[in-house]
Amino acid sequence: MSSRPEKENPGTIAASAQAGKRADVGDGPTIRSGKLAGRSLYSAIWIIALPVLLGQCANAMVSLVDKIFAGFLPADLVKPALDGLGLAGYVTWFISISMMAIGVGGMAIIARAVGSGDRELAERTLAQCGLLSVLWGAVVGAALWITCPAMARLAHLSPDATADCVSYIRILAAGLPATAYLLVSMSCLQGAGETARPFLILVVVNIINVIASWAYSGVEITVAGSVIHNPVGINANVQGIAFGTITAQACGAVLIHLLMRHGIADLKFHLAFLRFDRDLFRRIVRIGGPGFIDGLGIWLGQLFAVLWVLGAIVKRSNLDEGMIGAHEIAIQWESFSFLPGYAMGVAAGALAGQYLGAGNPKMARRAIRACLYVAMAIMGLAGLTFILAGDQLTLLISRDPVHLELAPKALFIGGFVQVFFAMSMVLRGALSGAGDTRMSMILAWTSTYGVRVPASWILGYVLGYGFVGVWIALSGELVVRGLFYFARYLHGGWAKIEV
């Protein structure tokens, strides 16, 4: 880092009128409303970030449990199941990115509206985002239903893995409108600084997911030598895991709608605002659209490494199954590392947006730096764990020889770049919250297609380093991306964006 955090008291987000003195928050106005008013900077960060972190950890745990369930299937089903879930994992990532166009736009507008005290604008935005999420979710679901067989073929999946992958994705696609409503609504509430109650909803979603996926999949669990038999008697294997997922997400969509209808401190869902608002729709898309293209570019670059590069390596090595599953095992564990970065990115985006809405760019910068330091410390420790304990982490999911050979190597390589990964995640979230999504998109595409895509192909396939070469390329690109975002933060143009 080129600068150290200021040592003076960061002050509070809003002045305390009852105390009869101005809060020490830097030059300019303060946030005028919202649950963060009157909070110290670090208190506000953790109020936003901690529930997000816990909620995302809960989601990651469900994904981990799903893969453990797949690992407990009969031995002849494990490799195709994990390969199929490996590619399907990129589809679930695409689903999240697809909702970004609405969620990021809504979050930025709501954050500014709450910061400036414009409650009506915040509530109209909330309702419009809910409407758009359901419509967009149906469109994306239809596209995934049609294209998933082609993706499986491009990845050179075996026939069994292809069947598992296609059925899993199509089940998720059928429930995508409810999933979209849940994801977008959570982004909107994060813009208002409300993360605690959505976290509780995520806890319920995760509990339902684990129980339903276990029941539908037919996996038998052994605890202390005793076998716990399937309570439903449905042996749907991978398809059962997918049914459990959409069941849980539908329940989550209902619960978060009830929460928004009840309302939080400065935000409530009103049916009267569901009438299509063309101007607000354009505003949401103008802000969130570049963020969607930003995420889409990263996703396509990553998918290139999995579909074309790993697929070509699999074909050349005559290894029918296992490599993509090993890749997904490493990604699964790495997801626990980047969750603190994501949570701090949410906090940085919400606080930056609200401080800018209050006309206080100085505190916006300080909030971003504070979030960055916390994320880098936590993710750096996680990276050290990957370096030292990759074998043990892999064994928790699978004992297949291919997985045990490859996944620890990937974790070892990825462990060294977690600090730079933290930098990219936090600063990307901050730029999104500030409405600087266009530059974020440019940086992401430049890094992805200038470094990630060519390096994966050259190191993995052309030079023959295979799976390890692909992971060296992916990890190296994270370093470049983090430095790109840091340069934009130092430039300061994000603080002047109009939303």
Whether pLDDT at 278 is above 80: yes
Q: Tell me the pLDDT tens digit for each residue of 14-45.
A: 332 233 333 334 444 444 445 555 556 777 78
The rounded distance, in Å, linking the Cα atoms of 278 and 229 is 54
pLDDT at 202: 84
Residue 467 within a domain: yes
265 pLDDT band, cuts 50/70/90, is low
Q: CA–CA distance from 184 to each of 45, 132, 137, 214 (Å)?
A: 21, 9, 10, 27
pLDDT at 188 over 90: no
Torsion of CA 95, 96, 100, 101, to 10 degrees: 0
Q: Does 34 map to a domain?
A: no
DSSP state of 39: -
Residue 498 banded pLDDT, cuts 50, 70, 90: low
Buried b (16+ CB within 10 A) or exposed e, 441-457: bbbbbebbeebbbebbb
- Of 51-65, 67-81, 231-245, 475-489, give the range with the top mean pLDDT: 475-489
Both tokens of 316, joined, read 């050349």
Looking up tokens 């600087």 gives 436
- Please give the residue range of the domain that contains residue 289: 41-496
Q: What rounded mean pLDDT belongs to the chain?
A: 80
Quickly state the pLDDT bin for 430 (edges 50, 70, 90): confident
What pLDDT shows up at residue 159? Answer: 86
Q: What's residue 53's pLDDT?
A: 80
Residue 351 has pLDDT above 70, yes or no: yes
Question: What is the predicted pLDDT for the residue at 27?
Answer: 43
Strand partners, 221: 228
Residues 6+ apart with CB under 8 A from 448: 297, 298, 300, 301, 477, 481
Domain-embedded: residue 2 = no
Q: Is residue 398 part of a domain?
A: yes
In-domain check, residue 470: yes
Q: Average pLDDT for residues 484-499, to the nearest whole number?
A: 82
pLDDT for the residue 52? 73
Quick one: pLDDT at residue 401? Answer: 86
Number of C-beta neighbours around residue 29 at 10 A: 15
d(CA 165, CA 227): 28
Q: How far is CA 157 from CA 69, 81, 85, 160, 413, in A?
A: 20, 11, 11, 8, 25
pLDDT for 251 beyond 60: yes
pLDDT for res 32:
47
Tell me whether residue 10 is in a domain.
no
Inform me whether the pLDDT recorded for 485 exceeds 70.
yes
- Tens-place pLDDT, residues 88-139: 878 887 888 888 778 878 887 887 787 777 888 888 888 899 999 999 999 9
Tell me, what's the pLDDT at 12? 35
Q: Which residues contact 23 (CB under 8 A, 6 or more apart)?
A: 11, 12, 13, 14, 15, 16, 30
Residue-level length of the chain:
499
> Model confidence at 304, in pLDDT bands (50, 70, 90)?
confident
Q: Which residue has the tokens 């059925």?
A: 167
Residue 7 falls within a domain, yes or no? no
Q: Does the residue 36 lie in any domain?
A: no
Residues 59-85: what's their mean pLDDT? 75
Q: In the numeric block, which tokens belong to residue 286? A: 């103008």
Residue, of 298 and 137, whose pLDDT is higher: 137
Q: How far apart are CA 468 and CA 32, in angstroms?
A: 52
Question: What is the pLDDT at residue 336?
Answer: 82
**51 vs 131, more confident:** 131
The residues pairing with 314 across neighbouring beta strands, listed in sequence order, are: none
Number of compact structural domains in the chain: 1
Among 154-163, 240-249, 288-297, the least confident range: 288-297
